[in-house]
């Protein structure tokens, strides 16, 4: 296939063979990042000064592995614009859209620029879920995590006049075999995992919940309004308008604590359901970056999130800050992947 032979065949997780099973523990993953950074020999542009710091010497390219206007594009453009307008970078930043195959086209593009520190891309749960479904040649292990930036959560919605009051009511309905629950993405993808995981944690039979995929959260909510499904699971930011208008009501939210915009929606944890689900968003780079290059970008994005402008933008976009540096983000990705695998196994999709 078109896979570019790794320059570092001995690095864990970067060899040509990849196993599908959950394999890396958090500690092992964290350890994996270091030898990767250390073993990188050839530097592809940029200047590493004598004190070991690095700075880009060419325009930085941020790839959104999707068309303009989507969630990834919004993150890429917002970050690029703020990094420039806040004067945090000296080089210009270009946003490139590489849509297709749920992200796989864009990932293949970035993976083809191994060790190039001027090519970043924005990322979120599909970088784990699409490869798990076997639809991408590359998975998160083929890239260098830079930082997790922000997160959004899932809400479990019902029509305003529904008889259901708590998430348990929905689980009971699933148990009776009569619940159709819509989501904004395909089977085995983000919304489905968020639903199945919650039902499972509440003691229900996740495989019995009939998940109905729609093209986007908006369509799922429309179907819910029209009474074509009993419930829908979508991102808080997507549902904000419908919730504020009182057209739909939320049975629960997948966040660890109640979300600022809707303090009246109880979390699943508050309903004694041990489940949280993050729609995290972050930045990654090709494999083979030097430690100093990773450090440069970690600091850059940390600085970005400190700015007033970022704070304002992220509130209006419905994001909660959730910064993690490269090492923590890498470990987090591996944990997430293990959790997703368990849930998908539960519903028989893995």
Residues making contact with another protein (CB under 8 A): 67-70, 73-74, 77-78, 81, 95, 97-102, 104-105, 108, 133, 135-137, 186-189, 213-216, 218-219, 221-223, 225-228, 237-238, 240-242, 244-245, 247, 313, 316-317
Pair 149, 325: CB distance under 8 Å = no
Residue 211 makes CB contacts below 8 A (sequence gap 6+) with 181, 182, 183, 187, 191, 192, 195, 196
Q: Which helix (H) or strand (E) holds 292?
A: helix 291-306
For strand 248-253 and strand 320-324, is the pairing parallel, antiparallel, or unpaired?
unpaired
Q: Which is nearer to another protein, 113 or 115 (CB)?
A: 113
Q: Which residues pair with 147 in a beta bridge?
A: 283
E-only strand ranges, 160-247: 180-183, 210-213, 231-235
Q: Work out how close the CB of 284 gets to another protein at its nearest, in angstroms, rounded to a whole number.
A: 18
Write the burial class of residue 9 (CB in 10 Å: 0-12 exposed, 13-18 middle, 19+ buried).
exposed
Q: Work out how close the CB of 22 gets to another protein at its nearest, in angstroms, rounded to a whole number.
A: 20
Q: Work out how close the CB of 246 gets to another protein at its nearest, in angstroms, rounded to a whole number.
A: 9
Q: Which is nearer to another protein, 155 or 269 (CB)?
A: 155
C-alpha 344/C-alpha 350 separation (Å) is 5
Q: Work out how close the CB of 184 gets to another protein at its nearest, in angstroms, rounded to a whole number.
A: 11
Q: Which is nearer to another protein, 34 or 244 (CB)?
A: 244
DSSP state of 124: -
Q: 102-111 in b/e burial notation, b at 16+ Cβ within 10 A? A: bbbebbbbbb
C-alpha 190/C-alpha 161 separation (Å) is 27
Q: Which is nearer to another protein, 36 or 192 (CB)?
A: 192
Pair 107, 3: CB distance under 8 Å = no
Q: Which is nearer to another protein, 12 or 218 (CB)?
A: 218
Q: Which is nearer to another protein, 40 or 150 (CB)?
A: 150
Q: Work out how close the CB of 310 gets to another protein at its nearest, in angstroms, rounded to a whole number.
A: 14
How many other C-beta atoms lie within 10 A of the C-beta of residue 49? Answer: 9
Q: Which is nearer to another protein, 30 or 101 (CB)?
A: 101
Q: Which is nearer to another protein, 88 or 105 (CB)?
A: 105
Pair 96, 61: CB distance under 8 Å = yes
How many other C-beta atoms lie within 10 A of the C-beta of residue 27? Answer: 10
Q: Work out how close the CB of 83 gets to another protein at its nearest, in angstroms, rounded to a whole number.
A: 14
Q: Work out how close the CB of 210 gets to another protein at its nearest, in angstroms, rounded to a whole number.
A: 11
C-alpha 339/C-alpha 333 separation (Å) is 10
Q: Work out how close the CB of 180 gets to another protein at its nearest, in angstroms, rounded to a whole number.
A: 10
């Amino acid at each position: 296939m078109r896979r570019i032979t790794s320059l570092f065949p001995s690095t864990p997780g970067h060899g040509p063979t990849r196993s599908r099973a959950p394999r890396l523990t958090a500690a092992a993953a964290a350890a994996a990042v270091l030898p990767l950074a250390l073993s990188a020999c050839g530097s592809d542009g940029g200047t590493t000064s004598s004190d070991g710091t690095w700075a880009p010497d060419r325009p930085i390219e941020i790839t959104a592995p999707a068309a303009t206007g989507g969630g990834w594009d919004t993150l890429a453009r917002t970050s690029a614009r703020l990094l420039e307008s806040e004067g945090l970078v000296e080089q210009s930043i270009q946003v490139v859209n590489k849509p297709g195959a749920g992200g796989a086209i864009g990932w293949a593009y970035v993976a083809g620029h191994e060790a190039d520190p001027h090519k970043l891309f924005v990322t979120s749960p599909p970088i784990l879920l699409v490869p798990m479904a076997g639809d991408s040649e590359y998975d998160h292990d083929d890239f260098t995590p830079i930082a997790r930036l922000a997160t959004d959560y899932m809400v479990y919605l019902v029509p305003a006049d529904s008889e259901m009051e708590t998430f348990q009511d929905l689980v009971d309905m699933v148990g009776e075999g009569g619940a159709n629950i819509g989501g904004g993405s395909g089977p085995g993808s983000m919304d489905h995992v968020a639903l199945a995981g919650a039902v499972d944690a509440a003691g229900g039979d996740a495989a019995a919940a009939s998940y109905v995929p729609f093209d986007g959260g908006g369509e799922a909510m429309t179907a819910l309004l029209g009474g074509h499904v009993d419930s829908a699971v979508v991102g808080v930011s997507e549902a904000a308008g419908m919730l504020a208008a009182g057209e739909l009501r939320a049975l629960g939210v997948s966040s660890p604590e109640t979300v600022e915009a809707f303090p009246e929606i109880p979390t699943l944890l508050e309903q004694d359901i041990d489940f949280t689900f993050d729609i995290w968003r972050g930045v990654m780079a090709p494999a083979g970056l030097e430690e100093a290059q990773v450090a440069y970008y970690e600091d850059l994005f940390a600085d970005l999130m400190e700015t007033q402008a970022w704070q304002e933008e992220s509130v209006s976009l419905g994001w909660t800050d959730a910064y993690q540096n490269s090492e923590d983000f890498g470990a987090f990705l591996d944990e997430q992947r293990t959790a997703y695998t368990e849930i998908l196994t539960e519903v028989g999709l893995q």
